[in-house]
Structure 1
Amino acid sequence: MTKKFVLFDHDGVLVDTEFWYHRAGERALADIGVSLDKDRYLRDMARGLGTWAQARAAGVGEEVIGRQRAVRDAYYREYLRTEAIEIEGVVEALAELSKHVRMAIVTTAKRVDFEIIHENRGIRRFMDFVLVREDYERAKPHPEPYLAGLKRFGAAREETLVVEDSARGLSSAVAAGIECAVVHNDFTAEDDFSGAAYRIGALGELRGIVLGVG
């Protein structure tokens, strides 16, 4: 079926930030003598948890976690300003898709991080709106973020496509009853994507999906 609306995840789909978010958490935990295991981190993320689950398991108290969360955020913003996080072909793919569908971003990124990322990028101009973490109550893998996106568009589930790169995001889309295309990302490549309607290597492949061809 032809799609009229596309809801994009952000990190790992439109910009290559997943690795740097993990690296920032890894540094923040290393500062207090805790190692961050990547495989466990990805499993925790898929369940809607994250960096601090391993800290708690290691006996780190909430006061220290609160302090290190701020440290992690500072490290991450340093990376966002200094590292190459472009994904080749994204702007070109969005320009082509904009001829056929309306698009928006539904992200778990904090507003401040999102603004840093998009200070000098050509992605937002293609989007009708952006929903960041502060715009909804329950984060992915809960369906609320994508249900909020549907409501904002006034769109039906069957005329909408979600584009994700993680198991957590896929679970959110599936729970919301929306077909999901998972785009390859090296960092999350080992996640369980069995519930995806489509698996793609790059966003340029979305044109055929939204038009119901190919």
Structure 2
Amino acid sequence: MVEGILWDNDGVLVDTEKLFFQANKDLFAQVDIALTEQHFFDWFLLENRGAWHLLTDHTPDQIKQLRTRRDQIYMQHLHNNERLEISGINELLLGLAPRVPMGIVTSARSDHFELIHSRLDLIRHFRFVVTEEMYSESKPSPEPYLLGLTKLDLPAEKCLVIEDSPRGLHAARAAGIKCIVLRNKMMLDYPFEGAYRVVESVEELSHEINQLL
């Protein structure tokens, strides 16, 4: 029986992966590099290294400036998009919150996270939020989810992770936690080997979670 749930944020609670891709695409277009969805999947969602390795003629300081510019573009995309909540997720959380303690474990920066959720009503369902500043190694390292387990005060075998990316799945598995993957449009063909379940909709996700409670 599952006694605690740890949720990823981007791609699970909110539909922001496409905006982060667009911000990176916009930034790299300024230096004449065409970033594709496949690049984004491979380098960001799978390997978690970004596309900065392509900038072989840039100094570390120049790359730092470009990172800052990318983040500014992303923030602007977030400001310009009001419909970020994934359809049906609030209703699912509303039903789960009285039954099981939950937390968010995200690779997002706190300022990005706060902007995303400033116009939503999802945070009230969670006991805590773990953002990028709170750990030293991001997913696929297990560190973020191990911190989540500490905050839930539960062992891994009594918890469940909800993810959407390969690196998130790898992080959950490395922490010893079963993981349900909510597939999104950027990862239609990825097999997600090792996932407890792979679901295609919030309705399927609700069914699988309730089977474990």
For the aligned pair, the TM-score class normalised by the smaller chain equals over 0.9
> In structure 2, how many angstroms separate the alpha carbons of the residues matched to 1:185 and 1:139?
21
> In structure 1, how many angstroms separate the alpha carbons of the residues matched to 2:153 and 2:139?
21
> In structure 2, how many angstroms separate the alpha carbons of the residues matched to 1:52 and 1:114?
23
Per the alignment, residue 50 of structure 1 pairs with 50
Residue 141 (structure 1) aligned with residue 145 (structure 2): no
1:76, distance to aligned residue in structure 2 (A)? 0.4
TM-score by length of 1: 0.92
TM-score by length of 2: 0.93
Number of aligned positions between the proteins: 211
1:165, distance to aligned residue in structure 2 (A)? 0.3
1:34, distance to aligned residue in structure 2 (A)? 1.7
Q: Pick one of 65, 68, 76 that aligns with 2:66.
A: 68
Q: Which moved more, 1:4-13 or 1:94-103?
A: 94-103
Per the alignment, residue 20 of structure 1 pairs with 19
Tell me the alpha carbon deviations over residues 157-214 of structure 1, each in whole angstroms, 9 at most, x when there is no partner: 1110000000010010011110000002112333341111111123343444344369
Q: Pick one of 78, 81, 84 that aligns with 2:79.
A: 81
Q: Kindly provide the amino acid, as one letter, of the partner of residue 80 in structure 2.
A: T
Q: Kindly provide the amino acid, as one letter, of the partner of residue 113 in structure 2.
A: F
4+ aligned runs moved over 6 Å, structure 1: none
Tell me the alpha carbon deviations over residues 45-66 of structure 1, each in whole angstroms, 9 at most, x when there is no partner: 212211323334xx33322211
> In structure 2, how many angstroms separate the alpha carbons of the residues matched to 1:22 and 1:145?
22
Per the alignment, residue 39 of structure 2 pairs with 40
1:128, distance to aligned residue in structure 2 (A)? 0.3
Per the alignment, residue 116 of structure 1 pairs with 115
* Local SS of the residue matching 1:96: helix
Change over 3 Å in CA distance of 1:50–1:162 after alignment to 2: same
Per the alignment, residue 30 of structure 1 pairs with 29
Unmatched runs of 5 consecutive residues or more in structure 1:
none
Q: Kindly provide the amino acid, as one letter, of the partner of residue 143 in structure 1.
A: P
Q: Kindly provide the amino acid, as one letter, of the partner of residue 188 in structure 2.
A: A
1:36, distance to aligned residue in structure 2 (A)? 1.4
Q: Which moved more, 1:114-123 or 1:60-69?
A: 60-69
The percent identity for this pair of structures is 35
Contact 2:14 2:85 in 1 (8 A): yes
Contact 1:170 1:182 in 2 (8 A): yes
Q: Kindly provide the amino acid, as one letter, of the partner of residue 15 in structure 1.
A: V
Q: Which moved more, 1:47-56 or 1:75-84?
A: 47-56
> In structure 1, how many angstroms separate the alpha carbons of the residues matched to 2:139 and 2:154?
20
Q: Which moved more, 1:84-93 or 1:135-144?
A: 84-93
Per the alignment, residue 101 of structure 2 pairs with 102
Contact 2:156 2:176 in 1 (8 A): yes
